Structure 1
Amino acid sequence: MPRPVTCPNCREELDIPAELRGQDVRCAACAVVFVPPTTDVVPTARRQPASTGPDYDDRGRWDDAPRRRRPRPRGSMLWVWLLLFGVVGSCVFGCGGLLALGMFMEFPNFQGYDSAAGRFHAEFPGKPTEREEVVDGPEPVLYLWTEFHREFPDETYFVYYTDFLARDLKPGPDQLLEKACDRAVARTPGSEEVSRQPAMHDGYPARDLVIRSPDSNGETVVRFVLVGKRLYAVGITGEFVNADSQRVRHFHERFRIEADGPAKKK
């Protein structure tokens, strides 16, 4: 048997039959086509294979050895999947987070509060504080405040009330409620009155007043309720407050007068 032939490209020693010497053969190791010599000399390569893809032409290969395939590097597609999952995840969780944040802002966790002195029940998004304040004017008025300040968003929930003297009740409920609205608008110089509508609250005469401050995009939404000689003001003020807010409606609807106090129905 002839001596092995050395591939001129990869230096692999190949056992090539004598009848194929002097013809084009393909190296089983590197797929280079060359002509093995009929004598024992080192052959030279003629050409490189045009392709090693699926359309590769194996004709002329002198043996049936399987072609070597370059291994695909592991993790080459990993970054693509990570990027895809990152984009999808940010959209899903980002939109879900914004939705949850919007719901939290619109409807916080309200907690019940009972005022023994004020004879009312209300729901605040936290524990409120009580204080007194004298409002200056042609006729100074003493208001008793119950309020809670919510930092996010920046808004204040309040209930305040005052008792009229007997002589102050002579104008009648409608005039007293209108006067309360006028006083509220006058307390904020430059404010704009958006709306004022008559209403009823648990059978008591009321007024719904909406005021927009000059330095804010938000509104003050307050409901005045006259119960006997006592006037209540129930409202919210803040940057993102408007009359159509769900939390505003909830705060007004959950406010009720206790039946066993000075605000008892007659």
Structure 2
Amino acid sequence: MMTPKFWLTIITINCALLTSSVIADDPCRYETTKGIIDLTSIGRTDGKPAYADKTPPASADYKYSYNPCKPFTELPNCIGVAACQVSADGKLSFSLGKQESVKWNPGSGLGSIPSITYTEGAKVVTVTLVCSADGSEDFDAMGENPINNYKFRLSHKCACWDGCGHTPPQPTTKSPGGGGGGGLGGGGAFVIILLVLAIVYFAGFASYYKFRQQKSGAELIPHRTFWVALPGYAKDGAVYVFRRVSGKGAESYNSV
């Protein structure tokens, strides 16, 4: 029997899943008590990597490309990614992580170096952010070691705390095409949760009425009398408010 406790459990699980899916790190900007690291101005926005086809010193079998903040594409297989591994002949490419998988690590202790990671399945890319106080810029790809773990190092003034910290925060939602990066605001998350709760509410009661009480048709609508009367309540409320505001007097108003 589908009891109220059962439906409360289902609603709680849905809320937890939705919350975990919409709360994500911003791929462009990280703010903590140490300050702000903002990589927005580094990343290219034309679908190409800011740092393309870098060969690690230990091996020339693969090249690596990286673009902070925004996704890029490097054919044949890196579509809308943050980091890409490319064969030496350029015929193969492998996604190493997308922007929406980003995780920031501020480091621990005084003088610690922050880093940023991206994931694609078992693959993990760690980008060490080196503060370049003199304004110089450099990017190094150290390759894969151990297996499925890739190390990059980015030296830039924007890798410094508050080095480039005046760009407004970027949203963090996933784009429909999987190209990464944007963001779902609190309002969007609330609407999604509200819709899921509404679906669970109507579907749950309809199932209960149909299979437990053998009802059908309009009788499957939960609290049908209330929902049918709701437009009339809304109209009465609007008329009451209008009359109060316009000073034309108002009839007595009974709460629902």
Q: TM-score, normalization: structure 2? A: 0.23
Of the two structures, which has the highest relative contact order with CA contacts closer than 8 Å and spacing of 6 or more? 2
Whose helix proportion is higher, 1 or 2? 2
- State the structure with more CA Rg: 1
